């Protein structure tokens, strides 16, 4: 019993450390990508090639003054960023990063835990993540925050439907909610032909899932309720210093989560050439695919203009949702007709 407990603790701590570093360097990557797309160099002063920039940013944010607005609802004001951050961190224990490696004579499976309902667990955490935003908007005692919070959470719940329904299409093929099993089923010839994205209806479902996840994590082009020049930064207007950092961390963590889920569901997770012989390649492939999706999200951010809020809601309900439903019908029909 203690063996398993120690294993869990070590895996969880390693994952948390990797995540915190990843979030910090994602902010750096975002600024670099923004720079390159805008034909300039991003931050490159603070260390070799600017690599210590996240450290400088972090230190700056720690020393900023923490202003709590006077009439705000103090308890909720402090709780809201934690309510946003904690579910974002909790999703990473069910994602498989590799098959298994042998270290010090023990076989270690590269996922923290394996749940029969892993995918639903992630869906549940996304549903709980809405509360951080709506409570932040309310507790700030600022009408722009309230409007931004309500709009942002209404957007999140609208696109959560399209997200959930696109997951159903994948479930029709894989027959299990367990992410480990979904990834295991995607190993084809030389590790790349079995990916879900190469099956007929699922290539479109991947696009729906990706767009819905961009909207779910409040990334551009869906970031009207929180963009810097609209609605005075929306629900995190009144937040300063570390609470603001927690919101930004939660946003980047959600981006990493959606990219990781997308690679696990559609791009074959850790599958790739020669993974059977060299299991350490599993996490490498996984990280590469997730980074490609993250880079694409950043690329889209600096290429496409923002949606107006009513266009966004209309798109979510009248286009994404019906297309997801039709995809489920088509996938089920394909499975029934061609077993």
Partner 1 sequence: MPSLESIEISRLWTLASIDRANLRTSWIMVNYVPVLLILILAIGMATVILVLSRFAARNRPTREKLLPYECGVEPVGTSRERQSVRFYLVAMAFLLFDIEAVFLIPWAVVFRGVLESETYRNLKWVFYGEMMVFMVVLFVGLVYVWRKGILEWNR
Partner 2 sequence: MEKASIIIFFVFAAAAVLSALNILLQRNPLYSALSLIVTLLSLSALYLTLHAEFIAVIQIVVYAGAIMVLFIFVIMLLNVPAAQPQIEKQKGLRYLAIPFAGILIAETFYVVLSIGKRSMPSVPAGTEAQAVGTTWSIGTSLFTDYLLPFEVTSVLILMAVVGAMVLARREGD
Per partner kind, with CB cut-offs from 5 to 8 A, the member of partner 2, partner 1, none near residue 293 is none
Based on CB atoms, which residue is closest to partner 2, 180 or 297?
180
Per partner kind, with CB cut-offs from 5 to 8 A, the member of partner 1, partner 2, none near residue 76 is partner 2
- Cβ–Cβ < 8 Å for 94, 112: yes
Nearest alpha carbon to residue 89 among 257, 212, 243, 295: 257
For residue 101, which phi and psi values (nearest 5 degrees)? -125, 160
Peptide bond into 64 cis (omega under 30): no
Both tokens of 240, joined, read: 């300063």
Relative orientation angle of helices 74-90 and 241-265, to the nearest 10 degrees: 30
Please identify, among the stretches 98-106, 132-140, 200-208, 312-320, the one whose residues bind partner 2 according to the rule CB under 8 A. 132-140
Please identify, among the stretches 111-119, 207-215, 245-253, 298-306, the one whose residues bind partner 2 according to the rule CB under 8 A. 111-119
By the rule CB under 8 A, 153 interacts with partner 2: yes
By the rule CB under 8 A, 177 interacts with partner 2: yes
CB 142 → partner 1: shortest distance, Å?
4
By the rule CB under 8 A, 134 interacts with partner 2: yes
CB 41 → partner 1: shortest distance, Å?
31
- The CA-atom distances, in angstroms, between 169 and each of 72, 89, 324, 327 are 44, 26, 8, 7
Rounded CA separation 286/162 (Å)? 24
By the rule CB under 8 A, 332 interacts with partner 2: no
First-to-last alpha carbon distance for the chain, in angstroms, is 43
Based on CB atoms, which residue is closest to partner 1, 41 or 68?
68
Interface positions with partner 2 (CB under 8 A): 73, 76, 115-117, 120-121, 123-124, 127-128, 130-131, 134-135, 138, 146, 150, 153, 157, 177
């Amino acid at each position: 019993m203690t063996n398993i407990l120690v294993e869990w603790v070590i895996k969880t701590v390693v994952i948390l450390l990797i995540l915190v570093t990843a979030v910090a360097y994602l902010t750096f990557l975002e600024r670099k990508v923004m720079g390159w797309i805008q034909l300039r160099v991003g931050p490159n002063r603070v260390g070799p090639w600017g690599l210590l920039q996240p450290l400088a940013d972090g230190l700056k944010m720690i020393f900023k003054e923490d202003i709590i607005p006077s009439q705000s609802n103090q308890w909720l004001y402090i709780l809201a960023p934690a309510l946003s951050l904690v579910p974002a961190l909790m999703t990473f224990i069910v994602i498989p990063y590799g098959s298994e490696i042998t270290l010090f004579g023990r076989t270690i499976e590269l996922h923290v835990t394996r749940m029969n309902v892993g995918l639903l667990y992630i869906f549940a955490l996304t549903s709980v993540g809405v509360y951080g935003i709506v409570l932040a908007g309310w507790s700030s005692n600022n009408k722009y925050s309230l409007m931004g919070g309500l709009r942002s959470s209404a957007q999140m719940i609208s696109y959560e439907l399209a997200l959930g329904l696109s997951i159903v299409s994948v479930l029709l093929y894989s027959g299990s909610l367990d992410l480990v099993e979904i990834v295991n089923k995607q190993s084809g010839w030389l590790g790349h032909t079995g990916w879900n994205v190469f099956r007929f209806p699922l290539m479109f479902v991947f696009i729906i899932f990706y767009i819905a996840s961009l909207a779910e994590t409040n990334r551009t082009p869906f970031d009207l309720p929180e963009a810097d020049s609209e609605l005075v930064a929306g629900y995190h207007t009144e937040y300063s210093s570390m609470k603001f950092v927690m919101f930004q961390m939660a946003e980047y963590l959600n981006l990493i989560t959606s990219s990781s889920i997308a690679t696990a569901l559609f791009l074959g997770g850790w599958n790739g050439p020669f993974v059977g012989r060299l299991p350490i390649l599993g996490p490498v492939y996984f990280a590469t695919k997730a980074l490609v999706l993250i880079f694409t999200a950043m690329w889209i951010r600096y290429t496409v203009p923002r949606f107006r809020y009513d266009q966004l809601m209309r798109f979510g309900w009248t286009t994404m949702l019906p297309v997801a439903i039709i995809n489920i019908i088509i996938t089920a029909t394909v499975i029934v007709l061609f077993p």
